[in-house]
Chain A
Amino acid sequence: MLLAPAVLVYAVFAFYPMIDVIQFSFMKWNGLNADKQWVGLDNYRYVLAVDPVFWVAFRNTLIWTALSVIFPPLIGFGLALGLNQNIPGRSPLRALFYMPVIIAPIAVATMWRWMFDPFFGLFNSLLTTAGWTNLIQDWLGDRNVALYSVFIGYVWEVAGFSMVLFLAGLQGVSQTLIEAARIDGAGRFQVFRYVTLPALRPTVTIVLILSLINSLKAFDIVYGMTGGGPAQSTQMLAMWAYTQAMQLGDFGRGSAISVVLLLITVVIVVPYLRWTLKRHEAYQ
């Protein structure tokens, strides 16, 4: 009885659509009327072999994910190491770096879109003031630059998240161990290398996986800043699935893209979950 409401709502509105999408991916359907047709693998054939946008979106998603696993965690790690030291103003600094995480991603997108404004935005104004006019760009309008411009906004948004996780991990590092190493004559760098880093290994795994999963969720910020353009140069798989199904009215093709993405996600997630569950039970 206590379990029923949660399980029911989860099964109907989260689990079932996950199964449902597989079925749609073999059909031709506009999502609204009753006219559904079984078309076998046609949607996959179209998406993987004919659609010119799919592979562009695939490549962008790969670049985006790779960058998301490298830069925000690195910056977060640096900030956490610094803010774990005995320096004044630690708490306000932590609060400040975490602030962008709690702001609506769509608002972050709107903010950065305005800062990237080619005429009056922050970046081009600063470059003009500094006299570096040759660096002035159409940040979101140039197809070679746009993806990286959006990513800069994303780094600002999410670095604080990694920072908080690393700070928690650092607080778990045994002070006794660090002091013991010091007494044994270890220098600052040696303590870091042989005591702190090994103790942080689980935290590093968690941060990297969560950064990876979160990078797949980066729908709002791209939608809000560029909508996938210019010329699909910031198109991503999740958004392309949405566009195909909801805007172009082709549920079959949209679902085929979703299934490809879900498969990729499951391949990443399942080993991580097995590891988490082991820790969850070991904690008992």
Chain B
Amino acid sequence: MSGLASPFRQAGAERVDPLLVALWITLIIVAVIWIAPFVFIIFTSLKSNATVMGSGAFSPPTSVAWENFTNAWRRGNFGTTVVNSTIITVIKVPLGLMISAMAAYSLSRIQFWGHKAIFLAIVFGTMIPFQVMLAPIFKQVNSFGLINTYVGIILPYLAFGVPYQVFILHGFFKDVPKELSEAALIDGASHFTVFRRIFLPVSLPVLAALLILDFVATWNEFAMALVILQDPQRWTLPLGLMSFQSQFARDYGQLNAAIVMTVLPAAIVYLIFQRYFVSGLTSGAVKE
């Protein structure tokens, strides 16, 4: 499988396969198209407005306009939105994973009346896009008086994060040998101890994958925040970017600097934890 030693060959074949070379060239062309928007955005973010209007789209910036970044940071109120996004993400993501894992454990190990119905209701939730019911979510949060608060956004985030995580973890916990948990229970351990000492350690890779996926999803979320966080002092990064776009759309350099700053944290997390993304996605959808 390690392709780099002798690329372009079919498994076990000696000759270079011309079809694979053609395929490779096609992929490289598609890759260039895919990467073009990134290059364009980064180049523009480093150009002054006069240069943007006067030079070609892909000409690299001649003099680097770093002030785009500082100006966009200040005018876009990034100081506030970064803090809000960070607080919400740092609380929501571990908390959500914790309650999902506990729920998945009890649904997979403790038999009680109605556990099947609860599981079905939760699985149903994995497929309902909350974007189609923003208004009733707003109404529900409002009836608790939580509009424009961190708690008010974290609670619905938790609610819509639970289904997918419970479904994935339930599938995983079922495969933990029964003997392991039953022996511990007979020895007098509580369910919580079994969960913490046995199930959490063996499922660390899945938990890590879900954690990273959820971090990016929470960091990027826009529609729910739009209806619940209406006070600019509570805005998250995506809301800040949207407002920046509508106010300063003609300051091309700064607008692109704002895009780069919004995208960068998620992009870095992705590049560092790449393999977890793939396993987190596929463990749910495609089982081999």
Contact = CB atoms under 8 A, between A and B. Distances in A.
Interface of A: 1-3, 5-7, 9-10, 12-18, 20-21, 24, 31-32, 79, 82-83, 85-88, 90, 93, 95-100, 102-107, 110-115, 117, 119-122, 125-126, 129, 156, 161, 164-165, 167-169, 171-172, 179, 188, 202-203, 206, 210, 213, 216-217, 219-220, 223-224, 237-238, 241-242, 245-246, 251, 254-255, 258, 261-262, 265, 269, 272-273, 276-277, 279-280, 283-284
8 contacts: A3-B106, A7-B122, A13-B141, A18-B128, A86-B7, A104-B262, A165-B282, A251-B139
B138 A31 contact: yes
Given A87-B8, A258-B135, A265-B129, A156 B124 contact: no
A42 B194 CA distance: 55
A206 B159 contact: no
B34 A97 contact: yes
Contact of B99 (A6, A100, A246): A6
A277 B123 contact: yes
A156 B37 contact: yes
B130 interface: yes
Interface stretch (B20-28, B64-72, B181-189, B202-210): B20-28
B45 to A, nearest CB: 10
Contacts of B258: 110
A284 B131 contact: no
Interface string B100-126: 101101110010000000101111110
Interface residues of B, number: 106
Given A86-B20, A106-B241, A107-B263, A31 B285 contact: no
A238 B139 contact: no
B57 A125 contact: yes
A224 B242 contact: yes
B255 interface: yes
Contacts of A171: 288
Contacts, number: 299
Contacts of A237: 132
Nearest to B135: A245
B106 A103 contact: no
A6 B102 contact: yes
B62 interface: no
Given A12-B159, A283-B171, 20 more contacts: A2-B110, A13-B137, A13-B156, A17-B140, A18-B128, A87-B24, A88-B24, A99-B267, A102-B220, A104-B237, A104-B262, A165-B282, A165-B286, A167-B278, A168-B288, A219-B222, A220-B222, A224-B222, A251-B139, A272-B127
A224 B245 contact: yes
B278 A164 contact: yes
B139 A20 contact: yes
Interface string B135-159: 1111111100000000000011011
Contacts of A125: 56-57
Contacts of A254: 135
A12 B140 contact: yes
A206 B135 contact: no
A171 B139 CA distance: 46
Contact of A99 (B40, B227, B270): B270
Nearest to B157: A13
B267 A110 contact: no
A269 B35 contact: no
A32 to B, nearest CB: 8
B245 A165 contact: no
